Amino acid sequence: MLNETHDPALNSWVASANVAGTDFPIQNLPLGVFRRRNSQEACRVGVAIGDQVLDVASAAASDSLVLEPALLRACSAPTLNALMALGNVAGSSLRSTLSGALRSSVPATERLRRHLVPMADAEMALPAEIGDYTDFYASIHHAAAVGRLFRPDAPLPANYRFIPIGYHGRASSIGVSGESFRRPSGQSLARGESRPVLGLSRRMDYELELGVWIGVGNARGEAIRIADAGSHIFGLSLLNDWSARDIQAWEYQPLGPFLGKNFATTVSPWVVTLEALAPFRVRSVRSDADPDLLPYLVDTKDSRMGAFDISLEVGLLTPRLRAAGSPPARLSVGNFRDAFWTIAQMVAHHTVSGCNLQTGDLLGTGTLSGSDPAAAGSLLELSAGGSRPVPLPNGETRTFLEDDDTVILRAWCEAPGAVRIGFGACEGTLRPA
């Protein structure tokens, strides 16, 4: 899957793309949907390059960027759905064209330079129109840590090592980074009480996840083979599946999450394509000590390179930190390579029943935690269910989120012989009810 677009020697005539540590060097080229801030413009497709957004639609319309007709139509649409539906071969063609046009070796840059929009001036929208959203439970470390809080003698469900567990989420309440939402209400049962009450959640939490965007769907009744799953996955972004832990604890048996999670999910605006992630593929963590899987979940290539080395970080900006001009407090750092299930296994399992995934559908990985308790992807784990306050650098503590707290997720990939790439930020703020 490696090609000339991954060449670590490549530089761009967009100077900020060559700065060490940038999320968006020319080797990344993630796609999103934007318009100029405070404008009435239609949203259209853009690509992140350094601290700029290249307006792909306007560049192609003015012949500053030559695209084949199908790609031109797709990039002029108000979402990424049309581009996703063309498949990864077309996406690879677009990536190659963009890479060639943005390289520092290309002399005629002024034609494209006028189609750059500073990121600070861009208003980002949801990358795609999302028909359905499914959230998985891919981190065995998260599943075990949460299980120990409620079932110390048997923390993992009996089926955990055999199937990728998931539930059907709520697509209508998914928002893009920068959003805020109100503290939700619901039923909860206080410790020692026999009757529930209706009220505001007092145990609000975040969940550090990655979102998997479906490109080409499958026909109803036709399962996607695990070996073919990659051709149905467009790319990845960050995802925060906000959770009201007190509401969730009372309602989740027997049918799983409902009001405890349906009020807000936040995604980052840039979709990093599978092709951009090719240098960072690694072996799955599943070992010979784990039980044998049913054949539809097994593929030699997926076992050898179906996981991804993606570092994951959670930051918290409290009102006091914000007022003092201080940076967000780092709560944890983990890595997606520690996930027990691969994204190909999630797609194969999701469709083995005949379920038809559609272009723009979103899959969440579930909370991504590491074996080290400091790599936990939620406050539920970091605070041991609320019993151990998490200290912050300014002397504050948190067991769960407080009003006007902002959670900032970040992710990046690094590997020998490859240029570091990032995902941008996934940011959301809990407002008072």
Q: How much is the pLDDT for 231?
A: 98
CA distances from 90 to 55, 71, 97, 187, 245 (A): 18, 7, 11, 48, 42
Decide if 142 is catalytic: yes
pLDDT per residue as tens digits for the range 356-370: 999 999 999 999 999
Residue 107 pLDDT exceeds 80: no
Final residue of a structural domain among 108, 125, 142: 125
Q: What percent of the chain has pLDDT over 90?
A: 95
CA 17 to chain centre: 22
- DSSP secondary structure letters along 167-234: EE--GGGEEETTEEEEPPEEEE--TT-SS-EEEE-S-EE--EEEEEEE-S---TT-PPPGGGGGGGEE
Distance of CA 141 to the CA centre of its chain: 19
Whether residue 53 is found in the same domain as residue 176: no
Do 117 and 139 lie in one domain? The reply is no
CATH, residue 221 = 3.90.850.10
Look at residue 423 and tell me whether its pLDDT is greater than 80: yes
**pLDDT tops 80 at residue 109:** no
Q: What is the domain-level CATH number for residue 15?
A: 2.30.30.230
Q: Indicate the residue among 99, 125, 151 that finishes a domain.
A: 125
pTM equals 0.97
Spot the catalytic one: 142, 232, 349, 350: 142
pLDDT score, position 372: 93
Query: Are 198 and 73 contained in the same domain?
Result: no
Q: Which residues form the domain of 328?
A: 133-431
Does residue 199 share a domain with residue 338?
yes
Give tens-digit pLDDT for 214-256: 999 999 999 999 999 999 999 999 999 999 999 999 999 899 9
Cα–Cα separations (whole angstroms), residue 268 to 50, 99, 207, 218, 428: 16, 22, 14, 25, 10
Q: Do 172 and 117 belong to one domain? A: no
Residues 95 and 223 in one domain: no
Q: Looking at the structure, tell me whether residues 231 and 363 fall in a common domain.
A: yes
pLDDT for res 94: 98
Task: Please check the confidence at residue 313 and state whether its pLDDT lies above 70.
Answer: yes
Q: What are phi and psi of 47, to 5 degrees?
A: -125, 135
Q: Are residues 259 and 197 in the same domain?
A: yes
Note the pLDDT tens digit of each residue in 41-100.
999 999 999 999 999 999 999 988 999 999 999 999 999 999 999 999 999 999 999 999
Regarding whether 425 and 306 lie in a shared domain, the answer is yes
Split into its structural domains, the chain has a count of 2
- Tell me, yes or no, whether 203 and 350 share the same domain: yes
Residue 342 has pLDDT above 80, yes or no: yes
> Final residue of a domain: which of 64, 93, 125?
125
Look at residue 239 in the predicted model and tell me its pLDDT.
98
Same domain for 25 and 144?
no
What is the average pLDDT score of the chain? Answer: 96
96 compared with 152, residue with greater pLDDT = 96
